[in-house]
Structure 1
Amino acid sequence: MTHTIILVGPRASGKTTVGKMLAARLNRHFIDTDDVVQKKTNKTIAQIVDEQGWERFREIESQILKEVMLSDAVVATGGGMVISEKNRHQMKNNGIVFYLATSAETVVARLKSNPAVSQRPSLTGLSITEEITGIIEERDPLYLESAHYVIDANDANKDKAEVLQQIYAICVPL
């Protein structure tokens, strides 16, 4: 039996990069839920939020999750996918969930080194460091609740190839 492999964690934790590498290695499709939202709505996430608000974006995101859970793909979720209890339950019960645990310092450094990654609108209006720190503190318990496995994805401890290898070693027997 194949399982949907789901990667959760804050933005810039490596979900998309590692997810693409993992999908290629496992010969599976790769799906990024943020990309699917943008393709289906023909709008950027920032446009959706500006025009319809965060609540509507989260509804669209949840619908996309429901659709991709029917595949045996590797799925990278948006950082806030875990906010919904329904989403957490769906992922945990219908897939294998890996939490790419990343410190606020690592996320901020990655966002500053790759501005395209930070195209998600601000949630709080705070500085990027204050916002990321608050978001990770708030969501860490939700990521942990969702996850079957926690992978340390900090640059200081692991590069992407090591993160990939750790996840791959768990996935091969599945």
Structure 2
Amino acid sequence: MNLTLVGMPASGKSTVGVLLAKRLGYQFIDSDLLIQEQEGRLLKEIIAQEGLEAFMKIENQVNCGIDTDKAVIAPGGSVVYYEEAMNHFREIGHVVYLKLSFEEFEARIGNPTDRGVVLKPGMTLRDLYEERVPYYEKYADIVIDETGKTPGDVVDELREMAEQGKI
């Protein structure tokens, strides 16, 4: 059984993922790192050199290829655009949505381009947030509202759910 953490960029998928994997004795997989390893380039370089559509094909292919058990998986925030990848994650475990308010997302994000965030031309951070949230909610088996919580609080909440057999 795996736990796949989804949510907006800067929602803490990697931070929470590493801590949770340690607490559960699971492996941690960051699919953005898998993409960079496969392509030999940073996410922002792939997007700049190949374009958004090509990047998205690579991202879907890498996420669909993750075949593991007892792992915490942290895919990029745009994974929810791929029904194939999201169905794959639901088949191999549970999908956990780390929910942030728009204000918290905006405060945490920093430079979206540097983070390799998939922003279509002319799209604002608000547009991105409003476009993605319904997808996160659609695919989530579990929603964790991060308002007022530290990464440690989120990890404790998820670990407790795992220990109680809820996930």
Q: Given the two structures, how large is their TM-score scaled by the length of structure 1?
A: 0.86
Q: Where in structure 2 are there 5+ consecutive unaligned residues?
A: none
Residue 119 of structure 1 deviates from its aligned partner by 2.3
- What whole-Å deviation, never above 9, does each CA across 1:128-168 have from its counterpart, x for those lacking one? xx7222111111111111110000123xx211111111111
Match of 2:116, as an amino acid? R
Residue 121 of structure 1 deviates from its aligned partner by 4.9
- The answer to whether the aligner puts 1:146 opposite 2:144 as a matched pair is no
Structure 2 SS opposite 1:80:
helix
In structure 2, relative to structure 1, the CA distance for the partners of 1:117 and 1:32 (3 Å cut) is: farther
- What whole-Å deviation, never above 9, does each CA across 1:46-93 have from its counterpart, x for those lacking one? 111111111221121122212224332110010000001212222223
Q: Given the two structures, how large is their TM-score scaled by the length of structure 2?
A: 0.89
- The answer to whether the aligner puts 1:170 opposite 2:166 as a matched pair is no
Q: Where in structure 1 are there 5+ consecutive unaligned residues?
A: none
Aligned residues: 165
Name the one with the larger helix percent: 1
Structure 1 SS opposite 2:26:
coil
Distance 2:162 2:80 in 1: 22
Q: What are the equivalent positions in structure 2 for 1:2-13 lying under 5 Å apart?
A: 3-13=1-11
- The corresponding residue for 2:47 is 49
CA RMSD, aligned part only? 2.0
Match of 2:150, as an amino acid? D
